[in-house]
């Protein structure tokens, strides 16, 4: 691939990543904010934690479900300036995002746990909101939020980046040659 074609491909990937990140940056639904508020979480904290969860889940989806290995990196590069802008307004926001991101990735890295990955991510969300020992109902509702957010992010990823299409009569492993 020539330099011009490579530059154009990178710009196209950046545009797609920006579109995908735009989906992640939408304000959380009022119903989710109200639900977390009913658990005793202040509205600003609820909005922040739900926002962090949407971003983290969106990055995880980009890492795990994208067709191109560069997609997660492109998404992270589009998200970084957003977080930097927000950190100029709220001083500790970048540090808090970093802590939360590490907690989400650590929750997925746990092996041998009987809880589903969505439930482990839900625990991170609730912990960030100050609910260290959630009730079964709170954990179930948070798990539902995580699952719905993952589904929406996966749909957005497919809409923006496309879906894999393989011939019906050829095994995927046969295409490597």
Residue 133 belongs to what domain range? 3-160
Q: Distance (Å, rounded) from C-alpha 23 to C-alpha 17? A: 10
Most confident of 50-59, 103-112, 161-170: 50-59
Tell me if 167 is assigned to some domain. no
Tell me if 121 is assigned to some domain. yes
Tell me if 47 is assigned to some domain. yes
Mean pLDDT, range 145-150, rounded to an integer: 97
Tell me if 168 is assigned to some domain. no
- pLDDT at residue 169, as a whole number: 72
- pLDDT at residue 129, as a whole number: 96
Number of domains in the chain: 1
Tell me if 125 is assigned to some domain. yes
pLDDT in tens, 89-131: 888 888 999 999 999 999 999 888 899 999 999 999 999 999 9
Q: Distance (Å, rounded) from C-alpha 154 to C-alpha 4? A: 31
Q: How confident is the model at residue 78 (pLDDT cuts 50, 70, 90)?
A: very high
Q: Distance (Å, rounded) from C-alpha 155 to C-alpha 57? A: 13
Which token pair is 9? 């491909």
Look up the pTM and report it.
0.86
User: Between these two residues, 177 and 135, which has the higher pLDDT value?
Assistant: 135
Q: Distance (Å, rounded) from C-alpha 21 to C-alpha 117? A: 22
- pLDDT at residue 166, as a whole number: 63
Calculate what percentage of the chain has a pLDDT beyond 90: 67
Tell me if 97 is assigned to some domain. yes
Tell me if 63 is assigned to some domain. yes
Lowest mean pLDDT segment, chosen from 55-59, 93-97, 147-151, 164-168: 164-168
Tell me if 72 is assigned to some domain. yes
């Amino acid at each position: 691939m020539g330099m011009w074609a490579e530059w154009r491909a990178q710009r196209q990937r950046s545009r797609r990543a920006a579109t995908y990140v735009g989906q992640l940056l939408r304000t959380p639904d009022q119903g989710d904010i109200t639900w977390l508020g009913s658990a005793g979480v202040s509205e600003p904290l609820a909005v922040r934690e739900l926002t962090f969860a949407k971003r983290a889940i969106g990055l995880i989806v980009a890492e795990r479900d994208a067709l191109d290995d560069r997609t997660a990196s492109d998404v992270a590069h589009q998200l970084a300036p957003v977080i930097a802008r927000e950190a100029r307004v709220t001083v500790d926001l970048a540090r808090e995002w970093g802590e939360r991101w590490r907690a989400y990735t650590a929750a997925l890295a746990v092996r041998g746990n009987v809880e589903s990955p969505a439930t482990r991510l839900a625990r991170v969300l609730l912990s960030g909101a100050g609910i260290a020992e959630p009730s079964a109902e709170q954990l179930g509702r948070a798990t539902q939020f995580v699952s719905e957010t993952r589904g929406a992010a996966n749909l957005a990823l497919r809409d923006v980046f496309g879906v894999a299409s393989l011939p019906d009569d050829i095994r995927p492993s046969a295409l490597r040659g």
